[in-house]
């Protein structure tokens, strides 16, 4: 299985802060990586493709970079509604696997 290592597992931030979350795959997955946002008690929500040229509907303050094994999700100016858990998912090879999540807290 492809292991996805996400860091940090949690972070504290304030509104307006720049936040960076990383996801590392145990083997190359090209651009077959997705990012999701999850608020407790709600349905997880697809956020972005790693392939940054693909439209996703996420606000422009969310940006992605990386390919191969190392990926980054950046929130350039944290808003109140962004406090949530973010996790990555690789779709390169079954079984699909997920990162452990990053909880963004105030």
Partner 1 sequence: QAQLQESGPGLVSPSETLSLTCTISGGSMSSYYWSWIRQAAGKEMEWIGRVYTTGSTNYNPSLRGRLNMSIDMSKNQFSLKLKSLTAADTAIYFCARERPYRGYDYLDSWGQGTLVIVSS
CB of 76 vs partner 1, minimal distance in Å: 22
Q: What's the CA gap between 53 and 44, in Å, rounded?
A: 22
Which range of residues in 19-27, 58-66, 70-78, 90-98 is near partner 1 by CB under 8 A?
90-98
Query: Residue 33 corresponds to which tokens in the numbers above?
Result: 């990586």
Bridge partners, residue 65, by sequence: 72
- Asked if 36 interacts with partner 1 (CB under 8 A), we say yes
Residue choice 19, 21, 25, 49 for contact with partner 1 (CB under 8 A): 49
Q: Is residue 4 close enough to count as binding partner 1 by CB under 8 A?
A: yes
Strands 102-105 and 10-12: parallel
> Which one of 7, 11, 20, 44 is in contact with partner 1 (CB under 8 A)?
44
Our CB check for partner 1 shows the closer of 36 and 78 to be: 36
Asked if 36 and 44 touch (Cβ cutoff 8 Å), the reply is: yes
Give the binding site for partner 1 (CB under 8 A).
Answer: 4, 31-32, 34, 36, 41-46, 49, 51, 54, 87, 89, 91, 94-101
């Amino acid at each position: 299985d492809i292991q996805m290592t996400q860091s940090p597992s949690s972070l504290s931030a304030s509104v307006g802060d720049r936040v960076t979350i990383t996801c590392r795959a145990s083997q190359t997955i090209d651009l077959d990586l997705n990012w999701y946002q999850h608020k407790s008690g709600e349905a997880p929500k697809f956020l972005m493709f790693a392939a940054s040229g693909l439209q996703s509907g996420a606000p422009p303050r969310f940006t992605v970079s990386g390919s191969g094994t190392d990926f980054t999700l950046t929130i350039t100016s944290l808003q109140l509604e962004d406090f949530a858990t973010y996790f990555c998912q690789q779709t390169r090879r079954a079984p699909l696997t997920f990162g452990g999540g990053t909880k963004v807290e105030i």
